Structure formats: C-alpha cells, structure tokens
C-alpha cells in the first residue's frame, strides 16, 4: 500500500525493529517448536504422572522440573551450552546418568505403589512430607533429561538473530524462558489431569502407577540403546 509515493509496508518494517528487539518470526517459530517438544511424552511426563498419583500436590515436583530447566537455561545463556555441545562425551555421560536416575525412580514407583488419599469431609489434604526432596528429584529429572538438553543446548541457538539489538546471551535467555513457560503450562495440565482422572476412577490408580513406573524404566532403556547405537556407528 502506498500513500504520497511512500510504501507504508517498508516503513512499518523499518520501524518495527525499534520496538521489537528480536525477530518476531523467530519468536513465533521458537514458541511453536518448544511447545511441540514439551507435548511429546518423556521423562518429565512420567515423573509428573507418578507425582500426581502418589502425592497430595504436584507443586513441589513441578517446581523442581522448572527449576532444573531454569538452571540449564542460565548455563546455556552464559556459554556453557556451547562448550557442552562441543564435547559430545558430556552429552553421553549425562544421558547415561539420566537413564540410571529414571530407572531408580521407576523401580521406586513399582515397588511402592501410591495410595489415593481420601479426604474426609471435603477438607483440603495436607502437603506431602519432604517437599524439598521432591523439588530436588524434579530438578534432577529435568536437569538430566536428554530431550531438554537437546532443545536448550542444540536447537535453541538456531533461533537467535545475530543482527538483533539484544546480545546473543540475552536472546538465549528469553528463548529459554519460552521453553520453561511451555513446560509450566503443559505439565500443569498433565499433573492435575492425572489426579482428576484418578479421582473419578480410583481403581485405575494401580494401573497408572505401574504404567508410569514402567515408562520411566523403558525410557531409560531407550536412552541407553540410542547412545550405544550412536557410539557404535560413530
């Protein structure tokens, strides 16, 4: 569209960068990709479903998941992510550590099936014991989650704009926070959704707990197999 011999579209695109320090298209593409990655079931899902069936509240577990990712985002923003990506053996070591940890959590859920706590008189349930432990467990699950490391260490830098007005570390931090926000939204639905389903059908408690525990063990095995195949082909 032109007015007075001046193309308004070009003027708009010339003014837009002054108000938006990052490429809007990159932000939208990053948001879509992050949300799709979070929706894919993985260790975080299995852990939160187990927490939803075992605990009176998922908040400590969810906060731990988000805390682990925030720590990873901070590390990527200050340049640790580039160093880790440059040394493949670090990713391999973290993957095996994640597999061991997921196996431990899965076996624990299978050996100690959760019991749905009945709340008499509609009174609110008390918070579970040792919420700090579940906070640390959640941080361990997300901090060692290979999918999260892949997103934040490998994929995230691809959405930065070297010509942007913000420095690259700031852009990485903003993009990482988009990922954390997507995790908060999706995992809240996963955790509380599992609780709601089990309240409607308490008989499904044992089945869900066994499935979530077995899922963590299977995911651990898949992580190990993928790494072994990758190493043998390399």
Nearest Cα neighbor of 27 from 174, 232, 213 is 174
Read off the pLDDT band of 20 (50, 70, 90). Answer: low
pLDDT value, residue 2:
45
Q: Measured between alpha carbons, how far apart are the two ends of the chain, in Å? A: 55
CA atoms of 26 and 216, how far apart (whole Å): 33
CA 59 to chain centre: 15
Residue 177 has pLDDT above 80, yes or no: yes
Those residues whose C-beta lies under 8 Å from the C-beta of residue 52, and which sit 6 or more positions away, are 58, 190, 191, 192, 193, 194, 195, 198
Residue entry with tokens 């040394």: 87
Based on C-alpha coordinates, what's the Rg of the chain? Answer: 21
Q: In the predicted model, what is the mean pLDDT of residues 4-11?
A: 45
Read off the pLDDT band of 208 (50, 70, 90). Answer: low
Read off the pLDDT band of 163 (50, 70, 90). Answer: confident
Residue 63 has pLDDT above 60, yes or no: yes
Q: What average pLDDT does the structure give for the chain?
A: 75
Residue entry with tokens 């959590």: 105
Confirm if 65 and 45 have CB atoms less than 8 A apart. Answer: no
Read off the pLDDT band of 19 (50, 70, 90). Answer: very low
**Which DSSP letter does residue 162 get?**
T
String of b and e for 111-134 (b: at least 16 CB within 10 Å)?
eeebebeeeeeeeeeeebeebeeb
Structure tokens given for 48: 């939160």
Percent of the chain scoring above 70 in pLDDT = 74
The values of phi and psi at residue 112, to 5°, are: -125, 75
Confirm if 160 and 172 have CB atoms less than 8 A apart. Answer: yes
Those residues whose C-beta lies under 8 Å from the C-beta of residue 148, and which sit 6 or more positions away, are 44, 68, 69, 72, 142
pLDDT value, residue 122:
41
Confirm if 100 and 220 have CB atoms less than 8 A apart. Answer: yes
For residue 219, the cross-strand partners are: none
Read off the pLDDT band of 188 (50, 70, 90). Answer: very high
Those residues whose C-beta lies under 8 Å from the C-beta of residue 154, and which sit 6 or more positions away, are 85
pLDDT value, residue 5:
43
């Amino acid at each position: 569209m032109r007015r007075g011999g001046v193309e308004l579209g070009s003027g708009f695109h010339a003014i837009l960068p002054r108000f938006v320090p990052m490429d809007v298209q990159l932000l939208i593409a990053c948001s879509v990709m992050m949300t799709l990655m979070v929706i894919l079931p993985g260790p975080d899902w299995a852990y939160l479903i187990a927490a939803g069936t075992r605990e009176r509240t998922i908040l400590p577990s969810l906060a731990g998941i988000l805390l682990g990712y925030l720590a990873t985002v901070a590390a990527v923003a200050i340049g640790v992510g580039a160093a880790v990506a440059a040394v493949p053996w670090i990713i391999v070591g973290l993957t095996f550590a994640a597999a061991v940890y997921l196996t431990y959590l899965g076996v624990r859920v299978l050996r100690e099936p959760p019991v749905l706590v009945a709340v008499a008189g509609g009174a609110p349930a008390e918070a579970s014991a040792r919420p700090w432990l579940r906070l640390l467990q959640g941080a361990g699950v997300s901090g060692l989650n290979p999918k999260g490391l892949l997103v934040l260490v490998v994929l995230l830098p691809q959405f930065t704009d070297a010509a942007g007005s913000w420095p690259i570390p700031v852009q990485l931090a903003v993009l990482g926070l988009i990922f954390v926000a997507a995790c908060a939204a999706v995992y809240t639905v996963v955790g509380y959704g599992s609780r709601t389903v089990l309240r409607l059908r308490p008989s499904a408690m044992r089945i869900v707990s066994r499935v979530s525990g077995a899922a963590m063990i299977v995911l651990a095995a898949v992580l190990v197999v993928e790494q072994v195949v990758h190493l043998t082909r390399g």
